[in-house]
Structure 1
Amino acid sequence: EKKVTIEPKDAYGDVNPQAFVEYPKSRIPEGTPLEKGRVVDLVKDKSQIVKATIWEIQEENVLLNMNHPLAGKILDFDVKVVSIE
């Protein structure tokens, strides 16, 4: 057994302040509750879906965090090799 720690730079990176964007509420998919912390799916280029987290709700926009949810986090794992074949 071994404990493994992975620093942010070796996993999903540090939080990028430039990955916070203001996005019009009107462009959030219909029926999506606007609440802080909710992950929303946004369509990019008509075929690619991008996930973003609602960070802040403003009057006409929402501030979206486009960083990976684990960005800036230290990851700790307990690893146990059960078998080698």
Structure 2
Amino acid sequence: MTNHAVQPDSAVLLHFDLKLADGQLADSTRRENKPALFRLGDGSLSAELEQALLGLREGDQKNFSLAPESAFGPSNPDLIQFYSRRNFIETGVPDVGTIMLFTGIKGSEMPGLISDVAEDSITVDFNHPLAGKVVWFDIEVLAIDPQLEATDEHTAG
């Protein structure tokens, strides 16, 4: 067990619980006991999240919150789309709260949340489900710069 601290270019293996302000659990690596591996400085984490990890050591636990801009971003009104009911003839009209896959312009699939079903239109929100929300992290550092085998599948993603 090493005793060095998390640096700006460290790889960090950690467990986390991600909660909303009301205490609802949004994501957890502890549920499946599959820790996440993040590399600081690779652009996958926000600067504020990296800042919260800097200086931590193996075994450290930390609770902190991040504003929407530092976590999953603000809710973008341009990502809320309106569709005609005719677009859902094949699938049937979905219920509010349903997440469906939609084919994007370049053929890529993106999940959309059905946020409203009206008489003649269906509203789909393509924002990240946690966009616009303050999120709370409860993290535990398991290892810093762990020596993982190439076959290890416990990476975040």
Which bracket does the TM-score occupy, shorter chain normalised?
A: 0.7 to 0.9
Following the alignment from structure 2 to structure 1, what is the Cα–Cα distance between the partners of residues 140 and 107?
A: 40
Which of 45, 50, 75 is the matching residue for 1:15?
75
Unpaired runs of at least 5, structure 1: none
Relative to structure 1, the CA distance from residue 64 to residue 71 in structure 2 (aligned partners, 3 Å threshold; closer, same or farther) is: same
Higher strand content, 1 or 2: 1
Unpaired runs of at least 5, structure 2: 1-60, 147-157
Alignment of 1:1-85 (within 5 A): 1-28=61-88, 30-45=90-105, 47-84=107-144, 85=146
- Pick the structure with greater CA Rg: 2
How many positions carry a matched residue from both structures? 85
Select the structure with the greater relative contact order (CA < 8 A; seq sep ≥ 6).
Answer: 1
RMSD over aligned CA atoms reads: 2.0
Normalising by structure 1, what TM-score? 0.80
Normalising by structure 2, what TM-score? 0.47
Give the secondary-structure state (helix, strand or coil) at the position aligned to 1:71: coil
